[in-house]
Amino acid sequence: MAEGGDVEWELSKENIQPLRRGRAISALHQALSQQQDGVSSAINQQRQAFESEVRMYEGDDPLDVWDRYIKWTEQTFPQGGKESNLGTLLERVVTRFTDEKKYHNDPRYVDLWIKFAENCPEPLDIYRYMQAQGIGVTQASLYIAWSEEYENQGNCRKADLVYQEGFKKCAEPHDKLQQFHKALQARVSRQVMMNVEEDDSDNEPKQPERVSLADLKHRGKKKAIAPVNRTGHAIRSISGGLLSHGPSVLGNASNSRLVIFDENKTESAGPSEPKLESWVAPPTSKAKENEQRPERWCDVKLPQKSKYGRTVMAPPPPKPTFQPFVEETDQPPTMTPCKINPAVNTVLSSRKPCREETPLKRLQEHHQQQKEAESGKLQEQSMYCKELLLSGATEFCFEEVRAERYFKKMAQESKEVRGQKDEASASTSN
């Protein structure tokens, strides 16, 4: 390979998603050189070929086409993104074969599920769903991916439990599972060791976290420049909010969220500053477990905690006991002048999300529908080959399907004709 050609991948290294299995360098070069002029016709043709193969496949291993299609997509679109359609493809393939028991523990199918899960906002839910459906329960790769997800979220105990589950199910290959389990244990023990070393000297929190909205201490004389280190001592005391001008009291409570009630202090600060409130520190990033569901806030009253610890409801605004004076001549305009006739102009408002759509929900829905279809409860029945039109990542029209069939027939016929000719020529030569 010429040296000039190598520069391409280095120039766009930030736009290449690393793959677990690595990339074929030739595919990468091709993809990057075609990148400038959008999705090229060659790529489109290949994609079209895969799309029609997915529909027209008649062998006994339809997963194979999908597997190749997805691998091709990964290699051809190094930066991922929308035009790669990878998310849709993964979702399609995963839903397509959920009912095919023979694939449930096929390593290819399980790998596709794991890729799908990694593409989702909540991979753990997907893994649980897989387990419930019995997909990949005897495959070591499921437990490895699942455990890694737990580990990434910092839950090493659960990560270990997942491996135990895998051992219980006798997941294959056993030695691979064991190897990854050992690696996890090694990582955890190293982490613990390091934490112990740190904790020996002082009782700092185990993992100094960057607290959002935290003020930063100045370092040295340069006041304007924030220190790069935003953890530990670099964060100024944030427990005080308004109280921060009294650092002598709260000075050493740098990371505590509790403000201890101090009788002497309130007396001094009492009536002159009635608005003095203790601000609870902002939640740390780990607080995701207690995430609040969105709900109506219009009639919710926020109990306000005062400095004194009692709960005080905000007093309702008092009704004025007097009639405000209105000048007789001052008649307010009945309506603001409107240039555009409101009846003609359609009013737009942004569409409200009716419900949350996650890939997992769609999956479950699909599953539900299929169950209903089996029991004959399904209300709709499509009288055309809906499956064929919609089964790929993009939609086909009837003509495309028909053309595909036609070409296939033609190919077969020409083959037959050629065969006959061959036969004929063979017989004449005899």
Q: Which residues bind other proteins (CB under 8 A)?
A: 1, 3, 6, 9-10, 13, 16, 18-25, 27-28, 68, 71-72, 74-75, 175, 179-180, 183, 190, 194
**Nearer to other proteins among residue 71 and residue 367 (C-beta):** 71
Q: Considering the complex, what minimum distance in angstroms separates the CB of residue 66 from other proteins?
A: 13
Q: Considering the complex, what minimum distance in angstroms separates the CB of residue 20 from other proteins?
A: 5
Return the biggest CA–CA distance within the chain: 123
Q: Considering the complex, what minimum distance in angstroms separates the CB of residue 233 from other proteins?
A: 21
**Nearer to other proteins among residue 116 and residue 396 (C-beta):** 116
**Nearer to other proteins among residue 99 and residue 148 (C-beta):** 148
Q: Considering the complex, what minimum distance in angstroms separates the CB of residue 71 from other proteins?
A: 4
Q: Considering the complex, what minimum distance in angstroms separates the CB of residue 205 from other proteins?
A: 19
Q: Considering the complex, what minimum distance in angstroms separates the CB of residue 181 from other proteins?
A: 12
Cα–Cα distance for residue pair 99/101, rounded to 1 Å: 6
Q: Considering the complex, what minimum distance in angstroms separates the CB of residue 222 from other proteins?
A: 22
Q: Considering the complex, what minimum distance in angstroms separates the CB of residue 275 from other proteins?
A: 48
Give 125's strand partners.
none
**Nearer to other proteins among residue 14 and residue 37 (C-beta):** 14
**Nearer to other proteins among residue 179 and residue 345 (C-beta):** 179
**Nearer to other proteins among residue 21 and residue 421 (C-beta):** 21
The answer to whether the peptide bond before residue 247 is cis (omega within 30 degrees of 0) is no
**Nearer to other proteins among residue 17 and residue 369 (C-beta):** 17
Q: Considering the complex, what minimum distance in angstroms separates the CB of residue 30 from other proteins?
A: 10
**Nearer to other proteins among residue 45 and residue 252 (C-beta):** 45
Report the amino acid identity of residue 95: T
**Nearer to other proteins among residue 51 and residue 74 (C-beta):** 74
